[in-house]
Amino acid sequence: MKKIVIFGGGTGLSQLLKGLKLFPVDVTAIVTVADSGRSTGKLRSELNIPAVGDISKVLLSMSNTDDDIMELMNYRFPAGKELESHSIKNLILAALLDTKGDFKHAIPVLEKLLNIKGRVLPITEENVNLVGIMDDGSKVIGEENVTYANKNIISLEYDKDVSISSDIAKAIKTADLIIFSSGSLLTSIIPNLLVKGITDEIKASKAKKMYVCNLVTQPGETNDFKASDHIKLLEKFLGNGVIDVILANDGKISDYIKKKYASLEQKDPVKLDESTLKRMNVSIIKDKIWKIEDNVLRHDSLKTAYLIFSYLMEGE
């Protein structure tokens, strides 16, 4: 069975994994743990643990359990309660961290409970904070603060030194395809590349490297970015020429949806600038890969996974 390693965090990664779990591939999801918002931020502060939110969300997206368990795991306590904003899945993973001592021993329990197909690895076991270095020389600490800083970010780092784990190094070495997921580029994808030793392992891997491009830009992170700009920013951390292929949307997004996102969220569709990508020697897989899900513009999980699987199996 072909092996895929996919880097990401949060909703973007989860959306892709919902589709990939339906195909005969061995998936290892490597997930950022720098989230500092809502339930995760509160648990980090109160319990001094790494971020659990993205990990728990990814685990749920890979689950093959029944709808009742999924509904329970997704339950979030309502406003006005002492547990306000906390989700059951985050509380369970926090409890497992307390009883088992670390992610290495906690995550397999939740994988078993949720009947996971594949494997989930945190990018680090350390309780790290993302630090954004701005063009005015200032530093902004915390993933949520970096996103909403309203300043030009020139670089990212962690507030402590972290190194690649043996499990992640082994997964990269044995991968047939390495994917950088859609999602918040600066705060969900690139934080995975800040760990010492990880970019060396990625560059040394014989696997093809794919970027699944975002559907829309993100204010404060990728304003006015075309598809090629996403890769240029990734390769600022990876090194030039690392990305072999981009999977991007070329399906027309309706004027209604574009206006809605532009006015409410200041987001615009990412333009697929094929000529620039070709000059960068990046192969292009393009198709209509968006859908409206729960009134939100998302990647079509099944269509995107099918295109990834088809690319992986080319040449067999």
- pLDDT above 90 coverage of the chain, percent: 74
User: What is the model's pLDDT at position 49?
Assistant: 86
Contacts by 292-298 with C-beta closer than 8 Å and gap 24+?
292/257, 297/215, 297/216, 297/253, 297/257, 297/261, 298/15, 298/215
Give the separation between CA 269 and CA 284, rounded to whole angstroms. Answer: 17
| Averaged confidence pLDDT in the chain | 92
Structure tokens at 133: 């270095």
DSSP labels for 154-185? Answer: EEEEESS--B--HHHHHHHHT-SEEEE-SS-I
Determine the average pLDDT of the residues in 114-143. 91
pLDDT per residue over 276-313, tens digit each?
999 999 999 999 999 999 889 999 999 999 999 999 99
Q: Do the Cβ atoms of 230 and 222 come closer than 8 Å?
A: yes
Q: Is the pLDDT of residue 104 over 60?
A: yes
Parallel, antiparallel, or unpaired: how do β-strands 130-134 and 153-158 relate?
antiparallel
Q: Is the pLDDT of residue 316 over 70?
A: no
Min mean pLDDT across 14-23, 65-74, 162-171 is at 65-74
Q: Exposed, middle or buried by CB within 10 Å (0-12, 13-18, 19+), for 314? A: exposed
Q: Is the pLDDT of residue 79 over 70?
A: yes
- pTM exceeds 0.85 for this model: yes
CA geometry: angle 283, 277, 315, nearest 5 deg: 5
Give the separation between CA 200 and CA 204, rounded to whole angstroms. Answer: 6
User: What is the model's pLDDT at position 88?
Assistant: 92
Q: Is the pLDDT of residue 227 over 80?
A: yes
User: What is the model's pLDDT at position 139?
Assistant: 92
User: What is the model's pLDDT at position 117?
Assistant: 85
Most confident range (mean pLDDT) of 19-23, 36-40, 67-71 is 19-23
